[in-house]
Amino acid sequence: MLALFSLEGQAQSAMRYRRMHLEDYEDRTIRYGFLFAAPVTRFNIKYSDAYVSRDSAHQLYSPNKVGFRVGFIMNTILSEHFDVRVTPAVSLYSRSIESKYPGGISKSEVRESTWMELPVLLKYKSKRRMNSRMYVIGGGSFGIETNVRRREVAGSSKLLTKNRDLSVEYGIGFEQFFEFFKFAPEIRFSHGLVNLFEPVQGNTANIGIQKLRTHTVTLYLNFE
């Protein structure tokens, strides 16, 4: 008899542990939340013909650098499997171009910037299994630099870039439902479509560059 009571108690405990949270989550069409993210970003460089013929640098590259992003989430539920998500955010970036010259000499040109970004994404989510499910996401993002610097005078060695960007984004995430909120870690990839490089008349410091496009891999922590 004691064994039966013990088994019944264990079964009840297991049922409590597997209780479905936020069962009415899909009943509301629009859901709001916020996000924190750590983007790892760099420039994709397309070299100019002058890189071989006129540039004295024997190596020209853009290293990965970690930034920071914070933003809001507005998620519209379209159906059982599809959502539309808009995530306006503020991002802090520090992208750079590294040049190495013979004799061990190196030079770094850094572009520190703050961007307002507006991703619009389509989300496909799997069937919910108790308190968890997977999803994939994809779409586009428009960004504008908010701390636009004055253009440098001709002959400057500063790295200049345009202040508007358009990118393609896609990723994968995992949703976990808790009693009062939903938490979703997500990995997202972003490929810039706009050539951000802005040459300056008379500036020979970056003659080896023809195009600069952004490339970013971001870890998101989403809360709804």
If one counts the domains in the chain, the total is 1
SS3 20: coil
Residue 77 resides in a domain: yes
Residue 132 resides in a domain: yes
pLDDT band at residue 199, thresholds of 50, 70 and 90? confident
Global model pTM greater than 0.75 = yes
Going from the C-alpha of 117 to that of each of 145, 183, 184, the distances in angstroms are 9, 22, 20
pLDDT band at residue 156, thresholds of 50, 70 and 90? very low
Going from the C-alpha of 30 to that of each of 66, 136, 151, 160, the distances in angstroms are 32, 19, 42, 40
Residue 71 resides in a domain: yes
Residue 19 resides in a domain: no
CATH code, domain with 62: 2.40.160.20
Structural domain including 200 reads 31-223
**pLDDT of res. 10:** 59
Residue 22 resides in a domain: no
Residue 165 resides in a domain: yes
Residue 1 resides in a domain: no
Going from the C-alpha of 201 to that of each of 47, 148, 162, 205, the distances in angstroms are 18, 19, 15, 11
- Taking only the tens place, the pLDDT of each residue in 69-93 is 999 999 999 998 999 999 999 999 9
**pLDDT of res. 152:** 44
Query: pLDDT > 90: what percent of the chain?
Result: 55
**Residues whose CB is less than 8 angstroms from the CB of residue 60 and which lie 6 or more positions away in sequence, other chains included:** 45, 47, 51, 97, 98, 99, 100, 208, 209
Indicate if the alpha-carbon torsion angle 216, 51, 108, 150 is positive or negative: negative
